[in-house]
Structure 1
Amino acid sequence: MNIFVLDENPIIAAQMLCDKHIVKMPLETAQLLSNVFSTALKVPNPFVSVIDQDIEIPYKLTHNNHPCSLWARQSKGNFYWLIEYGKELCKEYTLRYKRKHKSEEVIDWCEGFTHFSIN
């Protein structure tokens, strides 16, 4: 579970990744984003309130105390940065490999759900 912050701008950071990381990082980003919601269901979070306790989180909770997981749920700004980074990773993947990354749906789910749950 990593986030390669090669630039403060998430779009530029994603574009700078090598091909090997463009293949791998969308999944890790989707897992980190899912962790924010999984954790919010179990532990109160200052910026995430999950009203519907029956939502189906795309990925099971993993590496909850990894520094990147902690960072992702530390602030609203970090969470939104990671959303943008994930979206751009998927765009780069499509540009380079001419197909859609499987994690794109999960990142879109996390982005779509933020309108209802991110304070």
Structure 2
Amino acid sequence: MNIFYLDKDPSKAAQQHCDKHVVKMILESAQMLCTAHRQLDGDTYADTHSLYKNAMINHPSTKWVRSGNMNYRYLYDLFVSLCDEYTFRYGKTHKTDSKLRVPLAKTPTNIPLGEFIDPPQCMPDNCKQDSTIDAYKLYYVEEKKDFAKWTKRPTPMWFIEGLRFYAT
């Protein structure tokens, strides 16, 4: 469970996700959003709209999503952007997109109102930075370089530069 916070703009962040994460993070994002609904509003809306069951309720990312409406909104926008990115890269619609894009657009009724705060840095300590965006970029360079590739997108410049910097 994680939120790869690679850019403040969810659309740009989705484009910078490597292929493996475009596929995987659609499901993880949906699980966190569904869990927010179930934890905050109970099961009625969730069951009526066939939302996923609770997942990793106490994970820092899952707690972050339900801690404020703007956090929920960011992850929902990232979820939609990842779904759009999946369609762009692979020419098909992800099953989770078909099932949950519409019902997850509704913010949980009982979510606290508040300003957006950066997602938690769920990564090894050696990657953590003052800037959450920089931390996730470093996490990619340090921990994801062995499988990171981008279909129909150029490799992000920060990734190329990070590989050069940390290879020396």
Please, what TM-score do these two structures have when normalized by structure 2? 0.59
Counterpart of 2:7 in structure 1 is 7
Counterpart of 2:103 in structure 1 is 109
Cα shift at 1:62: 1.2
Q: CA RMSD in A?
A: 1.7
SS at match of 1:35: helix
Q: Write the mapping of 1:1-119 to structure 2, written as runs, cut at 5 A.
A: 1-41=1-41, 54-55=44-45, 56=47, 57-104=50-97, 105-111=99-105, 113-114=106-107, 117=109
Counterpart of 1:48 in structure 2 is none
Distance 1:41 1:71 in 2: 16
Distance 2:61 2:72 in 1: 11
SS at match of 2:78: helix
Q: In percent, how many aligned pairs have the same letter?
A: 39
Conserved? CA contact 2:10–2:77, under 8 Å: yes
Between the two structures, name the one with larger relative contact order (CA 8 Å, sep ≥ 6).
Answer: 1
Conserved? CA contact 2:40–2:66, under 8 Å: no
Stretches of structure 1 lacking an aligned partner (at least 5 in a row): 43-52
- Between the two proteins, the alignment pairs up a number of residues equal to 107
Greater than 3 Å deviation, 4+ residue runs: none
Q: Greater CA radius of gyration, 1 or 2?
A: 2
